[in-house]
Amino acid sequence: MLPEEVVYHASWMDEAGMRCFQIMEAPRQEFLDAWVSRWEDLIEFEIVPVLTSSDFWAKERQKGKKEGKREK
């Protein structure tokens, strides 16, 4: 029941088996929303957008360059 545009990467369970953490990938939030809507009657979701470490730091470097230009 996963939309074609959503990719499942991995899951982790807490030790009590009460929470599951999944790494999913989609090009846009709407695709995740479609997946969640199919399950929300059975389970509660929290979606937290994340970046890989390298993408995060590349974005920070770009931000720093832009801020440096503004200061001049």
Mean pLDDT score, 20-24: 95
- 6 — alpha (psi -120 to 50), left (phi > 0) or beta? beta
Q: How confident is the model at residue 72 (pLDDT cuts 50, 70, 90)?
A: low
* Mean of per-residue pLDDT scores for the chain: 91
pLDDT of residue 1: 78
Give the pLDDT score at 8. Answer: 96
28-51 average pLDDT score = 93
Please report the pLDDT score of residue 53 as a whole number.
Answer: 96
